[in-house]
Amino acid sequence: MRIFDSHAHYNDERFNGERQSIITEVLSDCVEYILNAGTNINTNNESILLAEAYPQFYASVGIHPHDTAQIIDENKTLDILRRQLTHEKVAAVGEIGLDYHYDFSDRGTQMKWFRLQMELAAEADYPVIVHNREAHGPCMDMVRAFPTVKGIFHSFSGSAETAAELIKRDWYISFSGVVTFKNANRILDVVRSVPAQNMLIETDCPYLAPHPMRGKLNRSDYLCYTAAVIAEAKGMTAEELCEITLNNAKRIYRIK
């Protein structure tokens, strides 16, 4: 089994004290690649440092909707993002998007920075990683407004109809450990509707540990549980699913 964890946060403080040992363990097991997603200027730099330290790591850089309210100088922030994008191990703009559940940043500011970063991705010809929580309609409106930008809806929580429109637009749908939860019937229906060729798998670690690891610090080797549930829903083996999703992630992140 070969796994590409398409969305992780190993720079998170929850890994402090055991980060190196956990990364060494997961990379010595079945995990071949990890994309560590940035959420603001500082965590972007931390993601780049991880990508420099480990050949199997790649980074994305962006401003998470939760962090958009903290931006003071718009032009300076965009200039730094442009510079960060030029790093050879940076594979995407993200994570960006909208979070209407917590509303840590006001919705106007979230939307403004979502659009600015979609413009940046179009300008630089990079894929994007979209965070969408309870903002399905506005997120899809943004996708439609930028037809040349492609990317991933991470830890997908939308409908099969939304997934179908994204697939028609050559986007990818990423599924996390949520598919293993007891109340996962609706998202498993979406899993069954998404072609494997448009699918990625992710941890979003240290969050969303799959069953039977609920309550533990999530890590990339736990993707075997997520993969097993998705593979059963798709009528294939976990090994087949992991191989397909690994190649999908390499394609969208342009990893040779």
Instruction: Output the six-digit token pair for 207.
Output: 């969050």
The domains of the chain are located at 3-252
Instruction: Output the six-digit token pair for 54.
Output: 């480990």
**Which residue stretches of the chain are H helix?**
19-27, 41-53, 74-85, 107-124, 136-145, 160-168, 185-193, 223-234, 238-252
Whole-number Å distance between alpha carbons of 241 and 127: 22
- The predicted pLDDT at position 205 comes to 98
pLDDT 10s digit of each residue in the chain, 256 long?
999 999 999 999 999 999 999 999 999 989 999 999 999 999 999 999 999 999 999 999 999 999 999 999 999 999 999 999 999 999 999 999 999 999 889 999 999 999 999 999 999 999 999 999 999 999 999 999 999 999 999 999 999 999 999 999 999 999 999 999 999 999 999 999 999 999 999 999 999 999 999 999 999 999 999 999 999 999 999 999 999 999 999 999 999 8
Residues whose CB falls within 8 Å of the CB of residue 100, separated by 6 or more in sequence, listed in order: 107, 133, 134, 135, 138
Best CA proximity match to 166, nearest among 192, 194, 138: 194
At residue 40's C-alpha, the angle toward residues 36 and 46, to 5°, is 45
- The predicted pLDDT at position 134 comes to 96
- The predicted pLDDT at position 103 comes to 85
- The predicted pLDDT at position 29 comes to 87
From the CB of residue 123, how many other CB atoms can be counted at a distance below 10 Å?
11
- Taking domain 3-252, whether its CATH number is 3.20.20.140 is answered by yes
